[in-house]
A and B are shown apart, each in its own frame.
Chain A
Amino acid sequence: MNRTSIRKALAPSVAVLALSITLTACGAGNETTDSGSDDSSSAETGTLTGELNGAGASSQEKAMEAWSVGFQGLNPDVTLNYNPLGSGDGRTQFIEGGTLFAGTDSAFDDEEGELTAANERCGTDIIQVPSYVSPIAVMFNLEGVDSLQLDAATIAGIFDGKITSWDDPAIADLNPDADLPATDISPVHRQDDSGTTENFTDYLSQASDGAWPHEPDGLWPVKGGLAAEGTSGVVAAVTNGNGTIGYADASQVGELSVVDVKVGEEYVAPTAEAAAKVVAVSPPVEGATETDMAVEVDRTTTEAGAYPVILLSYLVACQTYETQEDADLVKAFMEYVVSDEGQAAAAENAGSAPLDAETATRAQDIVSAIAAG
């Protein structure tokens, strides 16, 4: 008698159980073929096995997809898991030892003691290498206009709400050929705390000669205005409106028109090559150690063909790991990421800029020293 009541209570769970049993009876179609290759382990594939777990910035996720697939292609018995929780959690979990590597949009620093904590976790100075360089496009949606040239001060004026109409003289002067309507400008910004916003506001505050009165911050500093969640939210908001302008990772702007930004005397479009040039000329951050490649991005560069509105994202790892297995996995993975092959895969899949030769060589040297200790 009592049995029926228990069964009743568990009715839905029984349903789930039944379903899961039928499903788990057979493995995933593609994975079974992989385990078959175990028996005839060919010479070309690597011998590494195990799980490599990392977490961090979601901006790197598309590139990480390329890297994990490429890395698993080299070592089919490895599973690489990257948890796109955001840079903040990526750093926290790395410090706490929950992950073997981290991806972060803002380099580890000691503003809240995170760098010291990370060094403590590793026992030595951490490794911090640039892995993902991507131009941030300023994109707009304005009927009848599909190309626009702006300088930093004008962009700052638009996003600060000082320039409110598309036919404002400040814009018209820079675009003598464009037929600008009197539509109101609706600037769209990210409402979430993000590396994209931090890099964009950093550019505005450095390059606009004081037209941007706010400090660089991951959280949009101007009160009010149109806000949207995430890159896809900003893209959707700009697409759905008229007279809207916003900023987002260049690989995700889709069909929208993008602004050519004034650098020196030229106007430069957001391309991967232009973005990579900026990283090459940027100086390292103050007090960076031998293994820390964090740079202070030079937003005011006048280098020909450079595009200074970029997002620079890092991969963080330790120099030494407790077990040989961990050290081998991290080393192999990091080597792959900064290799030409890895950077090319990310460029193809995520539209990012491959590291320039000099940076890549230095990064190679640093990561190849990872060892068990």
Chain B
Amino acid sequence: MSTTLKPAPVSVASIPLTHGHLPRGAEILVGVVAAAAAGLFPLLLGWGLVAWVIVSVILFIVGLTVWSAIVETRRSATDRMVTALVWTAFGIALVPLVSLLWTVVSKGVPAINSTFLSYSAFRTSLDQPIGIYHAIVGTLVITLCAVVISVPIGIFAAIYLVEYGKGNRLARGITFLVDVMTGIPSIVAGLFAFSMFTAFFGAGYRAGIGGAVALSLLMIPIVVRSTEEMLRLVPDDLREAAYALGTPKWRTITKVVLRTSLGGIITGVTLATARIIGETAPLLLIAGLTTRTNVNPFEGFMTTLPVFIYSQFQKGTAADFELAWGTALVLVIIVLLLNIVARVIGKIFAPKTGR
């Protein structure tokens, strides 16, 4: 640490208290110059827009770093370079993400109307309009069941791993299973749930709860792993302070540890929920595909939004595709709402800190 904090060598004659600084707006200046310089290439060589952007960004990063290295110190130059790189990474990543979201939104919006949202796909004549109401209900019910199953299991397992079972055999076993399960292909989870439920309830048993179990298998590892990390980040000082006050362990965990890491845990759970809400294969297998609305997760076929999307794409005509994109948009919006609600709840319970 000491090496990096060594002051830059300065001449003894004039000891300035600050080193040189780039003028205000230096980034903008370099940016304009880089863009202009890179602009020569498309003009001279006939390159496309993409190449122009790439060259400008490279020139910008190099130019800013070199200038800063000359005027300022090496450390500031590194800092400026990393800042530029980080922002570039950010920009690069946004391009496909925005393109994807834009695709979903622009193709999905034309399909959405009140019939689409309030009708199910049940119809008695081909010229009747269909909607996705049944799939919205199915998605919410199955996801709710999966969350109810996996969140307590996941969080308790994580608490056990971090607070109680440091390194003992059970903890190692849980860690092993969680590690292995993170890469489980979703269809395998579906096969398991399918075999289990048909073995217990007969070969014709199809129900939303089976889908929820399959989804839990995919969800639990994510919840455990993310919660575990968040609990680890709670400083031991806090735990020790609580113990010093004579607080029993369980209360320390519920009142101090969980509260401190709440934001992170909620992010983990939301992510895991988002991950499973878009699953298709296991649900098709055990929860089936139906056109009627079904609110009972323990009996009967139940359609979810991704399964509906999949089946629409299979049918393959332009009208089917439009419904599918509309459904994808609805799914994204549902997740957006869940996200907001979860964050609001997280805020209410989170401890007041400086942030």
Any A–B CB pair closer than 8 Å: yes
Q: Which residues of A contact B (CB under 8 A)?
A: 1-2, 4-5, 7-20, 23-24, 27-31, 34, 51, 53, 58, 61-62, 65-66, 68-70, 72-73, 76, 79, 81-85, 89, 93, 96-99, 230-232, 235, 249, 251-252, 345, 348-349
Q: Does B188 touch A at the CB level, under 8 Å? A: no
Q: A8-B349, A82-B289, A98-B198 are in contact. Are A15 and B338 (CB under 8 A)?
A: yes
List the interface of chain B (C-beta within 8 A of A): 115, 118-120, 122-126, 128-131, 133-134, 136-137, 140-141, 143-144, 147-148, 151-152, 155, 198, 202-206, 251, 254-255, 258-259, 262, 266, 269-270, 273, 284-285, 288-293, 295, 300-301, 311, 313-317, 334, 337-338, 341-342, 345-346, 349
Whole-angstrom distance between the alpha carbons of A11 and B269 in the complex? 9
Q: How far is the CA of A47 from the CA of B111 in the complex (A)?
A: 35
B155 contacts which of A9, A18, A58 (Cβ < 8 Å)? A9
Contact of A252 with B120 at beta-carbon distance under 8 Å, contacts A8-B349, A85-B284, A98-B204 already known: no
Q: Is the CB of B151 within 8 A of A15?
A: no
Q: Which secondary structure dominates where chain B touches chain A?
A: helix
Is B120 a contact of A20 with CB atoms below 8 Å?
no
Pairwise interchain contact B316-A232, C-beta atoms closer than 8 A: yes
Q: Which residues of B contact A20 (CB under 8 A)?
A: 137, 140-141, 144
Q: Are A28 and B315 in contact (CB under 8 A)?
A: no
In whole angstroms, what is the CA distance A89 to B140 when docked? 27
- Chain A residues with Cβ below 8 Å from B346 are 11
CB within 8 Å for A230 and B293 given contacts A11-B342, A17-B144, A20-B144:
no
Is the Cβ of A19 less than 8 Å from the Cβ of B151? no
Beyond the given pairs A13-B147, A83-B284, 20 more chain A to chain B contacts, judged by CB atoms under 8 angstroms and listed by A's residue number, are A10-B151, A11-B266, A11-B345, A16-B143, A16-B144, A20-B137, A20-B144, A23-B133, A24-B295, A28-B119, A30-B122, A51-B301, A62-B316, A69-B124, A72-B124, A79-B292, A81-B289, A84-B314, A96-B203, A97-B204
Q: How far is the CA of A68 from the CA of B119 in the complex (A)?
A: 17
User: A231, B316: Cβ atoms under 8 Å?
Assistant: yes
How distant is the Cα of A348 from the Cα of B143 in the complex, in angstroms?
Answer: 37
What is the minimal beta-carbon distance from A68 to any residue of chain B, in angstroms?
7
The 10 closest A-B pairs by CB, nearest first: A15-B341, A28-B120, A73-B124, A20-B140, A11-B345, A98-B203, A29-B118, A5-B254, A28-B133, A96-B203
Q: How far is the CA of A81 from the CA of B148 in the complex (A)?
A: 28
Q: Return the contact of A24 from the options B115, B124, B137, B334 (Cβ within 8 A).
A: B137
In the complex, what distance in Å separates the CA atom of A52 from the CA atom of B28? 68
Give Cα A13–Cα B148 distance, bound, in whole angstroms. Answer: 6
Contact A81 B337, beta carbon cutoff 8 Å = no
> Chain A residue with minimal CB distance to B301?
A81
Chain B residue numbers with a CB within 8 Å of A15 are 337-338, 341-342, 345
Report Cα–Cα, A329/B206, bound state, in Å: 19
- Give A74 Cβ to nearest chain B Cβ, in Å: 8
B141 to chain A, nearest CB (A): 6
Residue ID in chain B nearest A94 by CB atoms: B203
Instruction: List chain B residues, Cβ under 8 A from A97.
Output: 202-204
Residue in A79, A249, A345 whose CB lies within 8 Å of B122: A79
In the assembled complex, how far is the CB of residue A253 from the closest CB belonging to chain B, in whole angstroms? 10
B19 to chain A, nearest CB (A): 49
- Are A84 and B311 in contact, with the CB atoms below 8 A? yes
Quick check: B126 and A28 within 8 Å, CB to CB?
no
Contact, CB under 8 Å: B338 / A30: no
Q: Which residues of A contact B202 (CB under 8 A)?
A: 97
Query: Which residue of chain B lies nearest to A62 when distances are taken between CB atoms in the complex?
Result: B315
A147 vs chain B, min Cβ distance (A): 23
Instruction: Give min CB distance, A271 to chain B, whole Å.
Output: 18
Q: List 15 A-B contacts (CB under 8 A).
A: A9-B258, A11-B346, A16-B143, A16-B144, A17-B144, A23-B133, A28-B118, A30-B129, A30-B130, A34-B124, A61-B311, A70-B126, A72-B124, A79-B290, A98-B198
Distance in angstroms between the alpha carbons of A93 and B206 in the assembled complex: 12
Q: Are A29 and B131 in contact (CB under 8 A)?
A: yes
Chain B nearest CB from A46 CB (Å) reads 11
Name the A residues within 8 Å of B137 (CB-CB): 20, 23-24
CB-defined contacts of B206 to chain A, threshold 8 Å: 53, 98
Question: Is the pair A34, B122 in contact by a Cβ cutoff of 8 Å?
Answer: yes
Q: Could you say which residues of chain A place their CB within 8 Å of the CB of B259?
A: 8
Contacting pair A96 B122 (CB below 8 A): no
What B residues does A1 contact at CB under 8 A?
251, 254-255
A28 to B294, CA, bound (A): 10
In angstroms, Cα B284 to Cα A82, docked, is 11
Distance between Cα atoms of A58 and B281 in the complex (Å): 14
Contact B288 A53 (CB under 8 A): yes
Q: Give complex CA distance A83, B303 in Å.
A: 10
Report chain B residues within 8 Å CB of A72: 122-124
Return chain A residues, CB-CB under 8 Å to B144: 13, 16-17, 20
Chain B residues with Cβ under 8 A from A5's Cβ? 254-255, 258
Question: Given known contacts A12-B266, A30-B122, A68-B291, is B341 in contact with A93 (CB within 8 Å)?
Answer: no
Say yes or no: A2-B203 contact (C-beta < 8 A), given A11-B346, A16-B147.
no
CB contacts (< 8 Å) of A93 on chain B: these are: 203
CA A1 – CA B255 in complex, angstroms?
8
Question: With the chains together, A81 CA to B341 CA distance in Å?
Answer: 35
Complex CA gap A7/B206 in Å reads 31
Contact A99 B315 (CB under 8 A): no
Could you tell me the distance between the alpha carbons of A20 and B145 in the complex, rounded to whole angstroms? 11
Complex Cα–Cα for A252 and B259 (A): 55
A230 touches B314 (CB 8 A): yes
CB pair A31 B122 closer than 8 Å: yes
Contact yes or no, B125 A69, CB < 8 A? yes
User: Distance (Å) between the CB of B147 and the closest chain A CB?
Assistant: 4
Question: Shortest distance in angstroms between B220's beta carbon and chain A's nearest beta carbon?
Answer: 14
> For residue A7, which residues in chain B have a CB less than 8 angstroms away from its CB?
349
CB distance from B195 to the nearest CB of A (A): 11
CA distance A51 to B288 in the complex (A): 13
Tell me, in angstroms, the Cα distance from A345 to B124 when the chains sit together: 13
